[in-house]
Structure 1
Amino acid sequence: MYWVSTQHTPVATDELTNIEHTYGITLPPPYVAFLTRYGPGTYCGLLIIEMPDPQLLQSYTDYELWTHDDNCPITAQQLGECVVIGSSIDGDFLAIHPQVEGLMWLPRHSEIITTKTLDVQVPFTETLGHILQDEFGRMEPFPRYFEPVSQDKTATFLLFSPLDTAEAYNPANPSDQALNFAPASLQALAQRFKQHFNSNLWIENEHICMAFLQTLGGYVRFNYAYGREVAIIYESKAIALRDEILSFLQKEHCRVVE
């Protein structure tokens, strides 16, 4: 698993034990092992692993967001007893309940609560991988990375504004002459970036491209879906590298968004 940053905040075992004693719950051992080693953060950009929250879903008990029929693992009354241990970037919840084996997935855009198998003998990341496959259609192999929560992380946003006279750039056959012209697309700009900076992890699909640099403590994100947005996610200690990347992008017709 790739670490986006080496600055992470593992949770003390005693802190989780106190939560268990206070609320009379038993947290899944793989989840506890994950938090005490890595701390809270985002897994593969989609699943947010959080500190256990025994109160979050209590505010949802008055709303009929999910169907509590015979196929539902919990009743409407038990909803407030659930402990949220994670969520997704889409607003789904990952929770546990003392009377339910495994994990529960409470979707934002569906009324059906489902259960997820939890094998206490395997790392928590393996369970998260199965959830990614089930809920987001992510099939193996896919790059696994973890972005720890950091108070030291910030971002610089830019807009890509190519010239009207930009020459088409073929990343498969780059040439010195072509590099003298503005890139014709955000995809072409990303390929230029790849040639200029040595990234530790490169993730690219039709929607997005992310170039991870360990020394940056973050990554550079090219938003293919929008076609113009570029973001530099970095830690303050890496300001020199941020400035180098920023200078490169500005020369490639990107302007900072204030």
Structure 2
Amino acid sequence: MYWVSTQHTTVATDELTTFEHTYGLTFPPPYVAFLTRYGPGTYCGLLMIEIPDPQLLQSYADYELWTHDDNCPITAQQLGECVVIGSSIDGDFLRHSEIITTKTLDAQVPFTETLEHILRDEFGKMEPFPRYFEPVSPDKAATFLLFSPLDTTDAYNPAHPNEQALDFAPASIQVLAQRFKQHFTSNLWIENKHICMAFLQILGGYVRFNYAYGREVAIIYEPKAIALRDEILAFLQEEHCRVVE
């Protein structure tokens, strides 16, 4: 698993033990092991692993958001008693649906294996896919830019990048990403038809190219890496990107 940043806040075992005693429950050992080693954060950009929250679902108990029939594994009253330990990146538990389902957690396997089962079941993620964890960091900073491509007929084929196009102003955000790849050494490179993310360990973050929108570029970084952020920013500005204030 690639670790986006070493700036993280772990959860003390004593804190989780106290929580268990207070609420009369027992957390799965793999979940405890994950929080005490990595802390809260985002796994594979889709799942949020969170500090236990015993109150979050209480406000949902009185609303008919889910179907509680004979096939439902939990009653509406029990829903309000649940402790939230994770959610999807858009805030759903784990995905918006009228049906509540259960997920099996094997106490003998790492917590990441359970997360990957959820990714496959709920998001259709199939092997292989890059595993990365982005810890929650109060110091994390971001710079957002808009790419303004020139009017040109140069085409881009993601299977076979047109190297000739790289000699001119980038014709698309895909070409811009390829130029970035040639200029900066990435520790992890994730690319599909929707997005491209270049992870740099010394940046403590990544540069994100929004293929779906075609113009948005973001630099996610730690303040201590401001010099590299400035170098990346200068490169992107030379490539027809402007900062969004």
- TM-score of the aligned structures, taking structure 2 as reference length: 0.96
Is the Cα contact below 8 Å between 1:61 and 1:79 reproduced in 2?
A: yes
Task: Determine the structure 1 residue equivalent to 2:243.
Answer: 256
Q: How far apart in 2 are the matches of 1:27 and 1:77?
A: 21
Task: Determine the structure 1 residue equivalent to 2:12.
Answer: 12
Is the Cα contact below 8 Å between 1:73 and 1:114 reproduced in 2?
A: yes
**1:62-73 matches, cutoff 5 A:** 62-73=62-73
Quote the offset at 1:221 in angstroms.
Answer: 0.2
Q: How far apart in 2 are the matches of 1:37 and 1:132?
A: 21
Deviations 1:41-63 (A, max 9, x none): 00000000000011110111110
Task: Determine the structure 2 residue equivalent to 1:99.
Answer: none
2:142 to 155, 173, 176: 155
Is the Cα contact below 8 Å between 2:170 and 2:176 reproduced in 1?
A: yes
Q: How far apart in 2 are the matches of 1:173 and 1:160?
A: 19
Task: Determine the structure 2 residue equivalent to 1:206.
Answer: 193
Quote the offset at 1:179 in angstroms.
Answer: 3.5
Q: How far apart in 2 are the matches of 1:139 and 1:188?
A: 27
1:224 to 200, 204, 211: 211
Describe the SS at the equivalent of 1:116: coil
* Cα root mean square deviation, aligned: 1.3
Is the Cα contact below 8 Å between 1:10 and 1:35 reproduced in 2?
A: yes
Q: How far apart in 1 are the matches of 2:154 and 2:235?
A: 18
What is the number of equivalent residue pairs in this alignment?
Answer: 243
Task: Determine the structure 1 residue equivalent to 2:104.
Answer: 117
Quote the offset at 1:174 in angstroms.
Answer: 1.4
**Pairing 1:172–2:157 present:** no
Q: How far apart in 1 are the matches of 2:82 and 2:185?
A: 45
Describe the SS at the equivalent of 2:163: coil
Task: Determine the structure 2 residue equivalent to 1:181.
Answer: 168
Q: How far apart in 1 are the matches of 2:23 and 2:141?
A: 35
Task: Determine the structure 2 residue equivalent to 1:144.
Answer: 131
The unaligned stretches of length 5 or more in structure 1 are 94-104
Quote the offset at 1:251 in angstroms.
Answer: 0.5
Letter in 2 for 1:72: C
Letter in 1 for 2:207: V
Describe the SS at the equivalent of 2:58: helix
Quote the offset at 1:169 in angstroms.
Answer: 5.5
Deviations 1:150-190 (A, max 9, x none): 11111000000012247445663414xx4442111111110
1:243 to 1:166, Cα distance in 2 relative to 1, 3 A: farther
Give identity over the alignment, percent. 87
Q: How far apart in 2 are the matches of 1:119 and 1:162?
A: 49
2:121 to 109, 129, 134: 134
Letter in 2 for 1:185: S
